[in-house]
């Protein structure tokens, strides 16, 4: 195909793609009556009528039921750590209560949904949140903020809920 023939054909193709689609008057009598009414005079469809943006009453009510009030520690964590992480003190003896105390005494940001030593809370503050401290456990994991025992040392067996190891002898 020659270039002289290709350029006009290509320009028509591009024009057809980028040009707006225009409705032509219909030659079918049933549809011709529709064409007689100008677009501006037609009533808008109720499903296409403009609505004010915003959440529905149902979604607002659901969100209110899901949200619980934040503890002071959770409120401070939002200022100290990126979401969804949580601030935990570095020293078990300190219990900072203000933002300045947290910064002065030191903290670490942990992911309580998957951190082995701070699973569901701060392991330095309460040993029940430290999955590695489960007596008799060999393999542990933190799943959705809860410790899970994969295997236990010899002489122990995993509990039915896989949260502890039970001594068998």
Residue 158 backbone class (left: φ over 0; alpha: ψ -120 to 50; beta: rest): beta
At residue 152, the pLDDT reads 94
How far from 154 is each of 36, 89, 131, 158, 165, CA to CA, in Å? 89, 35, 18, 11, 10
CB 109 within 8 A of CB 86: yes
User: Mean per-residue pLDDT for 46-72?
Assistant: 63
32-41, 71-80, 135-144, 148-157 — which is least confidently predicted?
32-41
Q: Are 139 and 125 a contacting pair, CB within 8 Å?
A: no
Whose CA is closest to 121, among 89, 98, 152, 93?
A: 89
Query: pTM for this structure?
Result: 0.54
Quote the pLDDT of residue 168.
87
* Distance of alpha carbon 117 from alpha carbon 120, whole angstroms: 9
Whether 153 and 138 have beta carbons less than 8 Å apart is answered as yes
pLDDT for position 91: 84
pLDDT for res 98 = 81
> Strand pairing partners for 143?
146
Question: Tell me, what's the pLDDT at 15?
Answer: 47
Backbone phi and psi for residue 12, each to the nearest 5 degrees, phi listed first: -65, -40
Average pLDDT of the residues of the chain: 75
Q: Which pLDDT belongs to residue 148?
A: 95
pLDDT, mean of residues 88-109: 84
């Amino acid at each position: 195909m020659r270039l002289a023939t290709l350029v006009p054909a290509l320009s028509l193709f591009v024009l057809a793609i980028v040009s707006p689609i225009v409705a032509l008057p219909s030659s079918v009598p049933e549809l011709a009556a529709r064409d007689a009414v100008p677009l501006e005079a037609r009533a808008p469809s109720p499903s296409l009528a403009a609505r004010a943006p915003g959440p529905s009453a149902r979604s607002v009510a659901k969100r209110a039921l899901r949200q619980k009030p934040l503890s002071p520690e959770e409120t401070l964590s939002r200022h100290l750590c990126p979401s969804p992480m949580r601030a935990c003190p570095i020293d078990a003896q300190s219990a900072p209560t203000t933002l300045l105390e947290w910064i002065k005494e030191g903290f670490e940001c942990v992911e309580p949904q998957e951190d082995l030593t701070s699973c569901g809370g701060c392991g330095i503050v309460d040993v029940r949140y430290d999955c590695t401290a489960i007596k008799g456990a060999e393999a542990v994991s933190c799943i959705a903020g809860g410790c899970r025992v994969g295997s236990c040392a010899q002489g122990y067996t995993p509990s039915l809920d896989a949260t502890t190891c039970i001594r068998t002898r």
